[in-house]
Amino acid sequence: MIDFLLGLIEEHAFLGLFITSFLASTILPLGSEVFVVLLISKGFDTFTIIMVASIGNYLGACTTYYIGLIGRRDIIERFFSISREQLEKTDKLFAKYGVFLLLLTWMPIIGDAIAAMGGILKLDFKVFSFYVFIGKMARYTVLSYITVGALAGIQ
């Protein structure tokens, strides 16, 4: 059974990584980190892993941004598990740090609130995209190279 599951993961590795990364940045409390580590340990190309995970996670954040943009706080609170209090705290953080806060959309719990607040505040989508993608890619780059280093140390 384990061999079957590993074979399935390897056969659909990048599609699975993309979907997991996308969902991790939207409505499901998933972590795509395990998938990244697994693919690196299986010898998949590190650059491709970084890009697929970054793009999937970025597009998930764009979904959250869009829902905020159209003013659907009810959806954000119900399906994204972002409370009104989190949104208010994030609003204050935006007032203090500006668009640089978008670099932290990769963080658990607060990241989704940051993406949603970006939409609620109607931030320019180009600015949103630039900072969010840079933050997401930095996250997966660091994770990937820590994993590569750790695996090299094991061998």
pLDDT one-digit tens code per residue, 23-53: 888 766 677 888 899 899 989 999 999 999 9
CA distance 78 to 62: 18
**List of residues 6+ apart from 125 with CB closer than 8 A:** 65
pTM recorded for the entire structure: 0.85
CA distance 31 to 79: 17
**Domain segments of the chain as ranges:** 2-154
pLDDT in tens, 53-101: 999 999 999 998 998 888 777 777 776 667 778 778 888 888 899 999 9
